[in-house]
């Protein structure tokens, strides 16, 4: 666990906030347990980013949003359209379930998620639930769940933005309502020339990688619902995104096209004692890689396709047993298909059938949640998980919580069944990863602010890692590793001295404990601090955000330490006239030079080269609302 000095630092950080102004804290409602609850009753650590915050900060992509949350760190391999690795409490994104409107969106080949290709203009809010949530959501929810809820606009608006590197973005959102019918839509187009994302060795000759790495994204979405009253509400929603991005690679392909979508039809009927939900969803994550160098402008060359298609059918019921006790139960069936990928697999499809049940007690002072789930993944066997949570509110503004849960992550189809890859070999005996999670937390909420402290521990066994097979000279997935992630998260939101303050500090100890001599997991900073200062005048609001990350080890191949860094971002919004707003964002205010991931060495091996983050960037725009 942490040394006493680290815990002392956490306590002092929490105590250092001196509150002297009143602030009405909104009683936020979230869906951490798949039904709406006040955030303090979920008995879990939950962070929420809503549409108001998104528009105040004027961010251009999801990684920029997530990187301000407690317990979340983002490692970027460049700018727009490039890989962004998201770590939740020290665990990689493969061990965090990512949903769009409750629909899984990871790549079933690798387990990764293309956050940079999910458009910000389509988002109503993001809920990040931390801790083992497999008993609620199933596989992958080892360190938490990121649920992206798409936009349901209440007004009509058009936004145009321009910025550095020939950046241009157009957004539109609107709504229509007539009687029991309601419809909302969103549309967006985003493009930039980009910049050269990898630092180059000055003595090396120019190559195709000495170029700008551009990006474009066109997206559209809708949400329609009709209330049949006694027969319930029927809804349909969809989000569609396609585009292209360039990157640097020494192995041929240097660009990709993507075509992603999620769609869902849902029915809900509620009464005083019983609420029923049924849904059918489909999704596609498709990435086509090709050569886009100057001598191949047609976009031909070697083509690799990574494609995942999913279908899921789910039924859930929630029933009131007594006033203070609710029960839930349900069943789901999920199918995954990667047959459209160019790689060959012994098995290209698999199914999972799950049953689950839970009980949720809340008498205003004492709270308790229990959930159990059994998943039967084809080829990998049955995984049983549970979550138990207890809480007490000794005062209406103070809540203690403790939760303990288990989780699992099913192997990817690539881990078990790839047959013709140049780099990877199959392991048909690979088993799911298993995890056990504990958390102790305290939340204080009142008119003078909101404060939260969480102490967590996550232990992962049977962790899947790729090891080089001496005979085939290919990387094969094995259940050989173990990891522990322990830490403390401190969060505070309050008004003081005429400003609104939002701050969070994460202290993390993430270790590889596969051998007797444990070592720090790569690219995880032990200290992460985020601070946002907001000032509101009559027609103007200004937000200044500071992001600090301590030094951290690189991956073992580079055998070095990545330096600590601090960056500042500034955003402003000005209401010019009623319904007309001007906005601006200045990223990396001090033009800080740093990198969060290595990309190779100079020719003389004297210096590590890295993926360059965005330098100082300016974006300005206007929004018309009607």
Domain count, the chain: 1
Element (DSSP H or E) covering residue 13 = helix 4-15
**Contacts of 621 by beta carbon, 8 Å cutoff, 6+ apart:** 58, 159, 160, 161, 162, 169, 582, 583, 584
| pLDDT for position 25 | 42
Mean pLDDT of 575-594: 95
The CB-based long-range contact list for 175-180 (8 Å cut-off, 24+ gap) reads 180/226, 180/227, 180/228, 180/229
**Residue 477, Ramachandran bin (φ over 0: left; ψ between -120 and 50: alpha; else beta):** beta
How far apart CA 245 and CA 84 sit, in angstroms, is 13
- CATH number at 453 reads 2.40.170.20
How far apart CA 305 and CA 339 sit, in angstroms, is 10
- Under DSSP, the state recorded for 230 is G
| pLDDT for position 259 | 97
How far apart CA 458 and CA 96 sit, in angstroms, is 13
| pLDDT for position 300 | 55
Element (DSSP H or E) covering residue 6 = helix 4-15
Instruction: Give yes or no for a contact between 464 and 433, defined as CB atoms under 8 angstroms apart.
Output: yes
Joined together, the tokens standing for residue 43 give 């008995």
- Under DSSP, the state recorded for 91 is B
How far apart CA 604 and CA 201 sit, in angstroms, is 10
The C-alpha R_g of the chain, in whole angstroms, comes to 24
Bridge partner residues of 173 (DSSP) = 157, 186
How far apart CA 584 and CA 544 sit, in angstroms, is 12
% of the chain surpassing 90 pLDDT: 78
Quick one: 328 exposed, middle or buried, by C-beta within 10 A (0-12, 13-18, 19+)?
Answer: buried
Give per-residue pLDDT as tens, 329-385.
999 999 999 999 998 999 999 999 999 999 999 998 999 999 999 999 999 999 999
Q: Around Cβ 363, how many Cβ atoms within 10 Å?
A: 12
How far apart CA 173 and CA 184 sit, in angstroms, is 7
| pLDDT for position 27 | 60
| pLDDT for position 288 | 94
Global pTM reads 0.92
pLDDT at 139 over 80: yes
**254 φ, ψ (degrees, to nearest 5):** -140, 20
| pLDDT for position 32 | 85
Element (DSSP H or E) covering residue 415 = helix 413-417
**Contacts of 361 by beta carbon, 8 Å cutoff, 6+ apart:** 324, 325, 367, 368, 369
How far apart CA 345 and CA 358 sit, in angstroms, is 37
**Contacts of 573 by beta carbon, 8 Å cutoff, 6+ apart:** 55, 56, 58, 540, 541, 581, 582, 583
Query: Whole domain around residue 334: which residue ranges?
Result: 4-625
* Residue 297: C-alpha distances to residues 7, 205, 257 (Å): 56, 22, 14
Instruction: Give yes or no for a contact between 52 and 42, defined as CB atoms under 8 angstroms apart.
Output: no
Give per-residue pLDDT as tens, 510-543.
999 988 788 999 999 999 999 999 999 999 999 9
Joined together, the tokens standing for residue 456 give 């967590």
**Contacts of 304 by beta carbon, 8 Å cutoff, 6+ apart:** 253, 288, 289, 290, 342, 343
Picking from 130, 139, 113, 112, the residue whose alpha carbon sits closest to that of residue 32 is 130
What b/e readout covers 396-417, taking b as 16+ CB neighbours within 10 angstroms? Answer: eeebebebbbbbbbbbbbbbbb
| pLDDT for position 301 | 64
| pLDDT for position 544 | 98
CA–chain centroid gap for 259, Å, is: 19
Q: Around Cβ 460, how many Cβ atoms within 10 Å?
A: 25
3-state secondary structure of 224: strand
Give per-residue pLDDT as tens, 156-196.
999 999 999 999 999 999 999 999 999 999 999 999 999 99
How far apart CA 584 and CA 564 sit, in angstroms, is 28
Joined together, the tokens standing for residue 405 give 């849960």
Instruction: Give yes or no for a contact between 435 and 461, defined as CB atoms under 8 angstroms apart.
Output: yes
Mean of all residue pLDDT scores within the chain:
91
What b/e readout covers 504-536, taking b as 16+ CB neighbours within 10 angstroms? Answer: bbbbbbbbbbeeeeeebbbbbbbbbbbbbebee
3-state secondary structure of 408: strand
Mean pLDDT of 279-303: 77
pLDDT at 10 over 60: no
The dihedral of CA 469, 477, 93, 196: what is its sign?
positive
How far apart CA 37 and CA 311 sit, in angstroms, is 28
Mean pLDDT of 483-497: 96
Mean pLDDT of 311-329: 97
Element (DSSP H or E) covering residue 55 = helix 51-57
3-state secondary structure of 52: helix
């Amino acid at each position: 666990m942490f040394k006493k000095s680290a815990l002392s630092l956490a306590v002092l950080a929490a105590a250092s906030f001196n509150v002297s102004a009143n602030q009405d804290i909104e009683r936020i409602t979230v869906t951490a347990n798949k039904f709406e609850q006040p955030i303090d009753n979920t008995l879990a650590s939950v962070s929420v980013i809503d549409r108001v915050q998104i528009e105040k900060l004027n961010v251009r992509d999801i990684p920029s949003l997530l990187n301000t949350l407690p317990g979340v760190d983002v490692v970027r391999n460049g700018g727009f359209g490039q890989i962004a690795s998201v770590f939740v409490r020290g665990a990689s994104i493969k061990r965090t379930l990512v949903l769009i409107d409750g629909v899984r969106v990871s790549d079933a080949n690798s387990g990764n998620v293309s956050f940079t290709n999910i458009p910000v203009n389509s988002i109503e809010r993001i809920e990040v639930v931390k801790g083992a949530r497999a008993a609620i959501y199933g596989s992958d929810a080892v360190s938490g769940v990121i649920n992206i809820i798409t936009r349901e606009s209440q007004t009509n608006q058009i936004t145009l933005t321009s910025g550095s590197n020939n950046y241009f973005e157009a957004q539109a959102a609107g709504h229509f309502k007539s009687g029991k019918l309601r419809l909302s839509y969103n549309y967006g187009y985003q493009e930039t020339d980009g910049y050269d994302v990898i630092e180059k060795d000055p003595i090396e000759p120019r190559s195709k990688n000495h170029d700008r790495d551009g990006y474009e994204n066109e997206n559209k979405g809708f949400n329609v619902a009709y209330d049949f009253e006694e027969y319930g509400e029927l809804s349909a929603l969809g989000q569609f995104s396609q585009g292209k991005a360039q990157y640097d690679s020494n192995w041929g392909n240097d660009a990709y096209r993507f075509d992603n979508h999620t769609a869902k039809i849902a029915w809900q009927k509620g009464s005083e004692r019983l609420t029923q939900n049924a849904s059918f969803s489909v999704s596609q994550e498709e990435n086509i890689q090709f050569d886009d160098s100057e001598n191949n402008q047609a976009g031909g060359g070697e083509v690799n396709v990574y494609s995942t298609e999913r279908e899921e059918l789910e039924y859930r019921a929630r029933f009131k047993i007594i006033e203070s006790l609710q029960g839930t139960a349900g069943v789901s069936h999920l199918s995954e298909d990667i047959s459209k990928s160019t790689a060959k697999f012994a098995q290209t499809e698999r199914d999972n059938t799950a049953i689950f049940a839970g009980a949720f007690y809340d008498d205003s002072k004492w709270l308790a949640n229990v959930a159990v789930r059994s998943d039967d993944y084809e080829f990998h066997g049955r995984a049983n998980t549970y979550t138990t949570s207890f809480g007490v509110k000794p005062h209406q503004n103070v809540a203690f919580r403790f939760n303990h849960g288990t989780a699992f992550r099913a192997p990817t189809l690539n881990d078990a069944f790839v047959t013709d890859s140049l780099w990877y070999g199959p392991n048909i005996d690979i088993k799911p990863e298993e995890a056990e999670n504990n958390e102790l937390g305290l939340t204080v909420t009142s008119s003078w602010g909101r404060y939260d402290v969480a102490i967590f521990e996550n232990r992962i066994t049977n962790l899947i890692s790729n090891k080089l097979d001496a005979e085939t000279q290919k990387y094969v997935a094995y259940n050989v590793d173990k990891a522990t992630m322990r830490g403390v998260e401190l969060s505070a939101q309050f008004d003081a001295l005429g400003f609104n303050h939002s701050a969070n500090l994460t202290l993390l100890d993430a270790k590889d404990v596969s051998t007797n001599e444990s070592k720090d997991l790569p690219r995880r900073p032990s200290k992460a601090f985020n601070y946002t200062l907001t000032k509101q005048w009559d027609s103007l609001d200004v937000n200044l955000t500071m992001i600090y990350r301590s030094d951290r080890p690189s991956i073992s191949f580079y055998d070095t330490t990545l330096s600590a860094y601090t960056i500042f971002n500034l955003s402003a919004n000005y209401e010019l006239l009623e319904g007309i707003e001007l906005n601006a964002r200045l990223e990396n205010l001090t033009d800080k030079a740093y990198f969060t991931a290595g990309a190779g060495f100079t020719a003389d091996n004297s210096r590590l080269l890295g993926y360059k983050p965005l330098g100082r960037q300016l974006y300005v725009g206007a929004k018309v609302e009607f």
